[in-house]
Amino acid sequence: MTLLLPLFIVLPLFAACLAGAFFWLKKPGAELLTNLVAAALFAAAVGLYFFRPFNTLMIYDLSGWLPPGGSHLILDGLSHLHILVANFVAWLVALYSVAYMRKYTNRTGYYALLLLLVTGINGVILTGDFFTLFIFLEIAALSAYALVAFGNRRAEIEAAFKYLILGETASLFILIGIGLVYATTGTYDMAKVSQSFPADASAVKAAILVLFLAGFGMKAALVPFHAWLPDTHASAPSPISALLSGVIIKTLGVYALIRILYNVFGMTGQLSLVLMVLSGVTIILGGLLSIGQNDIKRLMAYSSISQIGIIVAGLSLGSPLGIMGGIFHSFNHALIKPMMFFNAGAIYRATGTRDIRKMGGLFFRLPVVSASSIVGSLAISGLPPFNGFWSKMFVIVAAAQTGNLFLAMVIAIGSILTLASYLIFLTGAIFGRPNGEVNERTPWLIALPIVILAGCCFAVGLFVPFISQYLLNPAVVSVFNGTGYGKLMGGN
């Protein structure tokens, strides 16, 4: 069953080539193809849970069919959870795009780019090798630049330009870091690096960590490096905003950072402190900035920054509960935020505006969207019984347990700020006096992914023990295994 691993990269790539062929032949069909491929990948990600024995690694050796060199694809608890979430969200995005993208021309190109983006994301998650990581990072990033610019109006172009410059700078920081790793150990293989990084090269190690922190921090939009996020999330087409916020900042940023910090170099007290400070600033600043926004997508984008802060805060604590809380919050955010961006897209379609001041009283006019907006707002602010409550509670409890009461307080304040900003959205847009026009009812193809995600928010909140046993614990085990990751690979 290890053969399923390269499938996650080869299938979307092959489909992207097919979509490219459709593009040249000017034939439709890319829509259906993308949906089928995304659904198949999600099914494969679920299916792999039945084939991978609990808490074991699945390794696919690429050197067999592409000599020379020993690149691996690795599936452990952490990458499995991420591949599941990424392909689930990608599938819903493909579903949502069918109706939403009708208003755009050149849809075949859109689907080709979307498939390439999925290729890059899956590659980043599965690879066990630094250079391959960089290449898939670039595949994902370059297609993301083009997708952000897809509407081709002024706002989109400006956002894409900013994203391009900052994203390329981040990629280059990462590449220098990778170069330094190679110069010290002579290999790109993560497992080998974790085993053979010389103990006396502390100056080089510090430089590598600074570079990775800056590079992946920029991809994850931690606070000093967050400038690109609100612009891109607000300007991109709504399905792409959902994918950016739900998947890309987490896989390209947080997942890669955690994999490298925990499994390759090993977490240290200093590093943990740096991450804690960064995440604390991120939580507060993201929350404060989200309150003043009138554009609903911008409000959600700033709230994404705040949530990324909570995820990193959980992961920086270094205790099992903290790591579990961080990963769980990343999982929940990947369910809630795409739903909120889908809602924003549906509201934009129906009212023609994203400005809260120009809308109001949508509750009876757009019932599905309004109901799921309420669910999403409560879930992301951490109110019971939704999923967000549990993950935030885990992180806060873990922070208190490890003696970081200040961080626990910061997270609680951040939650209040998030709640405040979403209440502004709810009272302004969903409730209140009817304001503005509603031109269409929500089509069922747009409502379906929203309803699925809202159902997931409920279900995850209700079945926390199940989720934590089968999805989160294996991920925590692989993170907590630290540099033992390399030993598990059999030292190869």
Our CB check for other proteins shows the closer of 357 and 406 to be: 357
20 interacts with other proteins by CB under 8 A: yes
Residue count at the site for other proteins (CB under 8 A)? 79
* DSSP code for 334: H
H runs (alpha helix) in 236-319: 238-243, 256-258, 269-291, 296-317
Restricting to residues 211-270, name those near other proteins by CB under 8 A.
Answer: 230-231, 234-235
CB of 239 to other proteins, least distance (A): 14
Q: How many CA atoms lie within 13 A of 118 on its CB side?
A: 35
Our CB check for other proteins shows the closer of 183 and 459 to be: 183
User: Which pair of tokens denotes residue 369?
Assistant: 């969207």
Q: Is the dihedral of CA 73, 74, 75, 81 positive or negative?
A: negative
Our CB check for other proteins shows the closer of 245 and 330 to be: 245
434 interacts with other proteins by CB under 8 A: no
180 interacts with other proteins by CB under 8 A: yes
Our CB check for other proteins shows the closer of 182 and 431 to be: 182
Beta carbons within 8 Å of 104's beta carbon, 6+ residues apart? 110, 150, 151, 237
Our CB check for other proteins shows the closer of 143 and 404 to be: 143
Question: What does each C-alpha distance from 8 to 40, 60, 227, 244 come to in angstroms?
Answer: 10, 12, 31, 19
When computed from its CA atoms, the radius of gyration of the chain, rounded to whole angstroms, is 21
350 interacts with other proteins by CB under 8 A: no
User: Which pair of tokens denotes residue 62?
Assistant: 């690429």
Our CB check for other proteins shows the closer of 85 and 113 to be: 113
Q: E strands, 334-429, where?
A: none
Distance separating alpha carbons of residues 216 and 470, to the nearest angstrom: 28
Our CB check for other proteins shows the closer of 188 and 390 to be: 188
Bridge pairing between strands 72-75 and 58-61: antiparallel
Residue in the block written with tokens 């747009």: 446
71 interacts with other proteins by CB under 8 A: yes
CB of 428 to other proteins, least distance (A): 16
Restricting to residues 149-168, name those near other proteins by CB under 8 A.
Answer: 149-155, 157-162, 164-165, 168
Q: Which run of H or of E encompasses 60?
A: strand 58-61
Pick from 28, 224, 292, 367 the residue near other proteins by CB under 8 A. 292
User: Which pair of tokens denotes residue 489?
Assistant: 């690979």
66 interacts with other proteins by CB under 8 A: yes
CB of 344 to other proteins, least distance (A): 14
Distance separating alpha carbons of residues 266 and 261, to the nearest angstrom: 6
CB of 109 to other proteins, least distance (A): 4
CB of 457 to other proteins, least distance (A): 29
Site string for other proteins, 297-316 (x = CB under 8 A): -x------------------
Site string for other proteins, 97-126 (x = CB under 8 A): -----xxxxx--xx-xx--x--x---x---
56 interacts with other proteins by CB under 8 A: no
State in Å, rounded, how far the first CA of the chain is from the last one: 21
Query: By C-alpha distance, which of 295, 309, 310, 338 is closest to 424?
Result: 295
Restricting to residues 73-102, name those near other proteins by CB under 8 A.
Answer: 102
Restricting to residues 361-420, name those near other proteins by CB under 8 A.
Answer: none
